[in-house]
Structure 1
Amino acid sequence: MNSQLFHQIDPLLPYQNTEDAKKFLQASYRSLALSNAEEAAYHNCARFIYSLEHGSVFLRQSAQSPLSIQPVLIFYGLSHYIKACLLTVDPAYPATVHVLAHGLSTRKRKKQNYSFLKDEVRTQRNGLFGHFSEKMFHMEHLEGFKLNMNDLLMQIPEVAHIFSFQAAERPFHSLQQVSSSVYHLPAQLLDDYQMTENRLSDFLEQKTNGKITIETSHKNKLVLKVPDETPPAPCRFDIAANQWFFSRRKTPEAFYPELLVYYTLLYNLSMIARYETEWWYELLKHAPGKEFSLIKQFLHISQYKIPLLIEQFLDKGRS
């Protein structure tokens, strides 16, 4: 899709009126078997709408702002979007102050010769990251994990061409859709994962809770069965190429929902933009290494893709 078109279309606008938002929340709460679904929808309707609107304001402002402050604006835009999503699955949010923190931590002082790609953030017991991971994606026990920035960026298909240019490394295989639930994938993935076909099928089935299985191989291609309309990670949709891709890396980050990947990367970049201004401006003014191209492209694509990922989550709630 043309990038200018993204500025003209707000995929979340249908949710931002009282009548439709209230109906949507009521349906969401009834699916949770909430006894007071109508009352809860009435109570949360305004917060839901305003959270979406506030997220949109931050993202629109980021597109008009200098690159130096874009990470902060995009991160807070995403945070407000996530809070709106949480209201659809957790009517009492925020029930305690423990869910209000970011849920991630990073090294406050960067070492000499700091490299963003080698940097890591650690997941925390409390905070927004763990809470929305559990409530929105049913992921638990994420406390204490270290997440690497290079591994996370390699899960963004729209920056894959930069990795390919810089290191002749292709992070993804393209998926060829055969039918609504069947995809073909190059058999080279067996070498990437260093697994036999049966082992890979078991591995993917376990990692995706049965949402991806390998039926068989066919003419140097693997046949993937995906029962859901939207394939889960490690499948990623590239909005620039308008195509599904499959991660060639089997790191833990490859199996994270894309919103978790964006939240983690933007958290770290926003912290750097706020507290590591010397390194940040050196990067922006002199573009000394390959990190500049990757970060700039990631921030650019974030402004367009985040609303689509939020819409995708909300749309699942309507089905």
Structure 2
Amino acid sequence: MVLIDEITTFLTYLKSANTAQSYLHDCYHNNHVEGGEKKSFENAYRFIYYLEHGESFFATGKKADLITKPILYFYGMIHLLKACLLTQRPDYPENTSLLSHGVSTRKRKKQNYSFLQDEVKPQHNGLFPYFSTYLYGEKEAYLEKMDMNRLFHNIPEMRDMYIHYNKRDSMFPIGNYGDNFVTFPLSILDHYHTTEHRFIEKLQTSRLNIKGVHKQEKKLVVELMDPINPISNGPFYFHYQKQTFYFPWNRHYFLTFNEVMYHYLLLYNLSMICRYETEWWGDLIHNHPNEDYPFIQHFLDVTATKVPLMLGQYLLHLKKE
């Protein structure tokens, strides 16, 4: 795929002191950072090491047993996020409060615990609210608890799992990479219990730059000023293998968060479980007692490839600005 190859090549390009420094200098210049040239030299090697360590954790995770994959992927993601943050926040971390994960979860799991029904609570301080704000413009990401089922629903690669599990589609395709339009079935208005006018208003609040709207057969065609970018926030989610954007069927899953945020919350919870809930984790891996196992296994297969792509796409996008 052209987009995947472009991201992979660009990440390789960044792995020298000269190219990393030049890239960071351009980022700081575009952000009007005072003393940007000096800071780009100071951060070049740190930037490279974050990228290398992140990629190494993911590569090791792909070869590791399922029992340790969540920890390796979570810390790999953290390193890649820190590389992205250096492009926007040259003095990161500004204080020690930013060194925490920025999420909390139940310390003890209840009897008959189900991962799909478990919740995490974003915090006011720490890495999660920090990167959500400075990378994706989500300044109030800490306002609500998030359950694992809701997070899974907004990852397009999990769509087939939901079709198999409850025989209902969780998302539907609205357009391909590079298209200047997106298409919705008119039945989406019933699913969202809304009118066409209010639905379009809802899309506009999601930062969709709309040029015009018209009906075509039983579809609502929305013309765009510019194609949707794969790094765009929800409710538009990109499937890299299919090069297609997806949209949630159910209004409960209509969220404006970036998909990177969902992967972080899921990996955080899984990494905590495999470290501290060893009996439940061991039973899940060896006995496969319920639907948690296939959902978790499939998600880990997806996130191993998709997180480096999404964060690599973020870095590539800055280069093109």
Superposed displacement of residue 219, structure 1: 1.2
Name 2:218's counterpart in structure 1. Answer: 220
For residues 11 and 28 of structure 1, the distance between their equivalents in structure 2, rounded to whole angstroms, comes to 15
Unaligned segments of structure 2, at least 5 residues: none
For residues 177 and 70 of structure 2, the distance between their equivalents in structure 1, rounded to whole angstroms, comes to 38
Name 1:130's counterpart in structure 2. Answer: 129
- Partner of 1:194: helix, strand, or coil? coil
For residues 43 and 37 of structure 2, the distance between their equivalents in structure 1, rounded to whole angstroms, comes to 10
Superposed displacement of residue 138, structure 1: 1.2
| Residue type of the alignment partner of 1:204 | L
Name 1:181's counterpart in structure 2. Answer: 180
Superposed displacement of residue 179, structure 1: 6.7
Name 2:300's counterpart in structure 1. Answer: 299
- Partner of 2:184: helix, strand, or coil? strand
Q: What per-residue deviation string (whole Å, max 9, x for no partner) do you get for residues 254-301 of structure 1?
A: 321011010000000000010011111111111111111111010011
Superposed displacement of residue 225, structure 1: 3.4
State which drifts further: 250-259 or 136-145. 250-259
Inter-CA distance 301–199: structure 2 relative to 1 (3 Å threshold): same
Normalization by structure 1: what TM-score? 0.92
| Residue type of the alignment partner of 1:280 | W
Aligned: 1:94 with 2:118: no
Name 1:166's counterpart in structure 2. Answer: 165
Tell me, yes or no, if the aligned pair for 1:247 and 1:254 is still in contact at 8 Å: no
Inter-CA distance 25–178: structure 2 relative to 1 (3 Å threshold): closer
- Partner of 1:216: helix, strand, or coil? strand
Normalization by structure 2: what TM-score? 0.92
Superposed displacement of residue 306, structure 1: 1.0
Inter-CA distance 306–178: structure 2 relative to 1 (3 Å threshold): closer
Counting aligned pairs with the same residue, the percent is 35
- Partner of 2:116: helix, strand, or coil? coil
- Partner of 1:265: helix, strand, or coil? helix
Name 2:312's counterpart in structure 1. Answer: 311
For residues 39 and 251 of structure 1, the distance between their equivalents in structure 2, rounded to whole angstroms, comes to 47
Superposed displacement of residue 229, structure 1: 4.3
Superposed displacement of residue 142, structure 1: 2.6
Inter-CA distance 276–179: structure 2 relative to 1 (3 Å threshold): closer
Superposed displacement of residue 78, structure 1: 0.3
Inter-CA distance 178–126: structure 2 relative to 1 (3 Å threshold): closer
Tell me, yes or no, if the aligned pair for 1:107 and 1:121 is still in contact at 8 Å: yes
Q: What per-residue deviation string (whole Å, max 9, x for no partner) do you get for residues 77-98 of structure 1?
A: 0000000000000111000011
For residues 212 and 71 of structure 2, the distance between their equivalents in structure 1, rounded to whole angstroms, comes to 41
Aligned: 1:271 with 2:272: yes
Inter-CA distance 88–228: structure 2 relative to 1 (3 Å threshold): farther
For residues 18 and 62 of structure 1, the distance between their equivalents in structure 2, rounded to whole angstroms, comes to 27
- Partner of 2:251: helix, strand, or coil? coil
State which drifts further: 182-191 or 38-47. 182-191
How many residue pairs get matched?
Answer: 313
Inter-CA distance 179–72: structure 2 relative to 1 (3 Å threshold): closer
For residues 149 and 246 of structure 1, the distance between their equivalents in structure 2, rounded to whole angstroms, comes to 18
- Partner of 1:67: helix, strand, or coil? coil
Inter-CA distance 303–212: structure 2 relative to 1 (3 Å threshold): farther
Superposed displacement of residue 211, structure 1: 3.9
For residues 253 and 198 of structure 1, the distance between their equivalents in structure 2, rounded to whole angstroms, comes to 17
Name 1:282's counterpart in structure 2. Answer: 283
| Residue type of the alignment partner of 2:223 | K
Tell me, yes or no, if the aligned pair for 1:103 and 1:124 is still in contact at 8 Å: yes
- Partner of 1:126: helix, strand, or coil? coil
For residues 86 and 152 of structure 2, the distance between their equivalents in structure 1, rounded to whole angstroms, comes to 28
Inter-CA distance 252–163: structure 2 relative to 1 (3 Å threshold): closer
Superposed displacement of residue 310, structure 1: 0.7
Tell me, yes or no, if the aligned pair for 1:201 and 1:213 is still in contact at 8 Å: no
